[in-house]
């Protein structure tokens, strides 16, 4: 009986040592893999993390602009090979953490919210690819691109303008001053720009809030008018339709670029949309969906509209248009079409 007991004890000791060796090997192996992942690139899905090479370098951040006291908008140059982007922000310890991500290689901007006013934030944007259902991307290195979340206002040429900590003009101050009770709209039919102005107390409507690209007609009548009725959907001339419209005077409207079917946001006339920023209408003031929708929702009936001609595009200059391919039969600025863009990965 003693021999059997000693034999069993020896077997138990050998088994215990084998288990301990396996645990030690597992911990060492995992530590090496984790160190390699942090130093290089990563593959990400819901079940695993492993070291790989993504072959997609950091994209260049082209601008970081202030949206409000607590948010910044990061814009970058697209990578044609990317399936999406990971946005990194440095924390107080100087370590890179994920701030957010955008799916779709054609995305080129991200708004980081919940930030603290007067603080400086540093960003890097890493494109990712997808292989066997897993995201592949490099981790950021280097200093990144920084922006201090601070702004100030000053008067220039009779206007109250807002500037960031670097002295750069902020071209959309709605998030800074908040929604106003009333606005004045100025339409420059020569440079094809609509600029909204807010009231600065007794100084009048001298705060440029934001500007929109438009497509008027070279012979659109100049003068001072006041908005009338508005419509969510409206039939236009020549078998065309608009999503939003606001009357300026008579048959002259603010309306979207024309659609070929009524109440169908996927029937955008792409050829006409790509004329935005030129004199292309039959007399009305065409705008992208985001612009007309903003007027529809923020400008009450009776809002003053000043139509004029000037070589000076306005305090914010002339916005740029990203032209659409023929298959893109919806307006990318239309909030209701975001799912379509997300599916295509185009905007």
Q: Which two tokens stand for residue 166?
A: 């670097």
285/246 Cα distance (integer angstroms)? 10
Q: How far is CA 88 from CA 44, 123, 155, 156, in A?
A: 15, 6, 36, 36
| DSSP per residue, 246-269 | EEEETTEEEEESPBSSTT-TT-B-
Q: For strands 96-103 and 134-138, give the pairing.
A: unpaired
262 alpha-carbon distance from chain centroid: 28
210/195 Cα distance (integer angstroms)? 6
Burial (Cβ within 10 Å: 0-12, 13-18, ≥19) of residue 252: buried
Catalytic residue among 102, 192, 214, 284: 284
Let me know if 231 is a catalytic residue.
no
Contact in structure between 191 and 318 (CB atoms under 8 Å): yes
Query: What torsion do the CA atoms of 86, 87, 88, 91 make, to the nearest 10 degrees?
Result: -140
Name beta bridge partners: 255. Answer: 245, 286
68/178 Cα distance (integer angstroms)? 9
188/198 Cα distance (integer angstroms)? 17
78/80 Cα distance (integer angstroms)? 6
Contact in structure between 41 and 136 (CB atoms under 8 Å): yes
Which residues 6+ apart lie within 8 Å of 160 measured at CB?
A: 153, 154, 200, 203, 206, 207
Let me know if 284 is a catalytic residue.
yes
Instruction: Using the structure block, give the residue that is written with the tokens 């298959």.
Output: 327
Catalytic residue among 102, 192, 214, 255: 255
Contact in structure between 104 and 344 (CB atoms under 8 Å): yes
Residues classed as catalytic: 255, 284
């Amino acid at each position: 009986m003693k021999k059997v007991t000693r034999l069993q004890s020896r077997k138990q000791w050998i088994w215990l040592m084998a288990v301990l060796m396996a645990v030690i090997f597992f911990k060492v192996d995992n530590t090496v893999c984790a160190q390699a992942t942090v130093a290089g690139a990563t593959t990400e899905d819901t079940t695993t993390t492993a070291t790989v090479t993504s072959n997609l370098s950091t994209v260049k951040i082209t601008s970081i602009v202030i949206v409000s006291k607590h948010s910044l908008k990061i814009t970058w140059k697209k990578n044609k090979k990317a399936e999406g982007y990971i946005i990194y922000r440095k924390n107080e310890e100087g370590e890179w953490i994920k701030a957010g991500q955008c799916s779709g290689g054609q995305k080129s901007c991200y708004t980081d919210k919940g930030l603290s006013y007067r603080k400086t934030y540093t960003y890097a944007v890493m494109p990712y690819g997808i292989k066997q259902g897993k995201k592949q991307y490099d981790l950021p290195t280097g200093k990144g691109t920084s922006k201090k979340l601070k702004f100030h206002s000053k008067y220039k040429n009779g206007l109250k303008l807002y500037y960031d900590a670097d002295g750069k003009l902020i071209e959309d101050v709605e998030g800074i001053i908040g929604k106003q009770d009333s606005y004045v709209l100025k339409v420059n039919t020569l440079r094809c720009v609509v600029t909204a102005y807010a009231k600065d107390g007794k100084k009048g409507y001298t705060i440029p809030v934001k500007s929109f690209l438009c497509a008027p007609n070279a012979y659109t009548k100049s003068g001072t008018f006041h908005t009338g009725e508005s419509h969510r959907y409206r039939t236009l001339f020549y078998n065309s339709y608009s999503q939003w419209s606001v009357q300026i005077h008579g048959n002259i409207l603010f309306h979207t670029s024309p659609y070929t079917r009524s109440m169908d946001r996927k029937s955008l006339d792409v050829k006409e949309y790509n004329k935005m920023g030129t004199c292309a209408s039959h007399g009305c003031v065409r705008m992208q969906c985001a612009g007309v929708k903003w007027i529809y929702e923020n400008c009450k009936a009776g809002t003053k509209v000043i139509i004029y001609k000037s070589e000076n595009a306005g305090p914010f200059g002339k916005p740029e248009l990203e032209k659409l391919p023929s298959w893109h039969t919806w307006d990318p600025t239309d909030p209701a079409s975001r799912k379509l863009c997300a599916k295509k990965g185009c905007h």
